[in-house]
Structure 1
Amino acid sequence: MQGAAPDRPKRLGFLFCLLAVTLSTDLTEGNMFFIVVIEQEIALLTVGAAIALAICFWIWRTA
């Protein structure tokens, strides 16, 4: 059971990164499916923060 434990944080970090990249791609193309009423500049800042958080989470869990 302990041998399978390190893979879970890596997969979770990868999913966070994938989500952040997907959101940033959709927002920069003008398809704001997730954030509708917020201006695009604020939405991009939010996605940037999500990317930074995902990277920090990835580093913290894999260290």
Structure 2
Amino acid sequence: LLAGKAWPPGRYRLVLQPKLEDLAGNSLARPFNLDLEARPHFKERIEPVSLLFEVPAVD
């Protein structure tokens, strides 16, 4: 994620869908190195992942 311009100071919440993948196919739906044969009952994440962060004011 790269912003096109500076964000105003404040609190933000970034909400990511679990199907979001990197170039290698890793997603937020499950751990990257999960052995699905060893954990056959594992359920992939279906709800969004939420990340709270704050952009501080510049003095």
Q: TM-score normalised to the size of structure 1?
A: 0.28
**Bigger-Rg structure (1/2):** 2
Q: TM-score normalised to the size of structure 2?
A: 0.29
Q: Give the structure with the larger helix fraction.
A: 1
Q: Give the structure with the larger strand fraction.
A: 2
